Amino acid sequence: MVPHDLRYTAEHEWVRMTASGLAEFGITDFAQAALGDIVYVSLPAVGDSLSSGRTCGEVESTKSVSDIYAPVDGVVAERNDGLDNTPETVNSDPFGAGWLVRVTLSDGEGLQSLLTAAEYESLITAS
């Protein structure tokens, strides 16, 4: 499942702009399926600065630990604190309640460099 209204990274993060103007991101359905049952999520703190392509957290599953990469430059405005107690939400609803972080963008053009849904579909189909 690859929603067409989102942007993507080659590292399997998705990004959407919220109604309040924040960039919300999480990991894709492809990523959560590859990870298996997610048991822990480590997220950056509110106020942390993120740099596109740099590690900003981790997702731990019964199979492995994987880095989360910031898809955009900005400052963390919100983190999904609900994942502290129910990290499995990332498995059950990766594009909804399983969002990870909301960021105030430092560059309004940040989303333009990300993959479109069609480009991301091509990437995961080739895998």
Across the beta sheet with 38-42, the strand order is: 38-42, 55-61, 65-69
Which domains does the chain carry? 7-126 (2.40.50.100)
Q: Give the model confidence (pLDDT) of 59-111 as tens digits.
A: 999 999 999 999 999 999 999 999 999 999 999 999 999 999 999 998 766 68
Kindly calculate the radius of gyration of the chain based on its CA atoms and give it in whole angstroms.
Answer: 13
Question: Quick one: pLDDT at residue 54?
Answer: 96
The Cα 49–Cα 67 span in angstroms is 17
What pTM was computed for the model? Answer: 0.94
Q: Give the model confidence (pLDDT) of 4-53 as tens digits.
A: 999 999 999 999 999 898 999 999 999 999 999 999 999 999 999 999 99
Q: Is 117 helix (H, G, I), strand (E, B) or coil?
A: helix
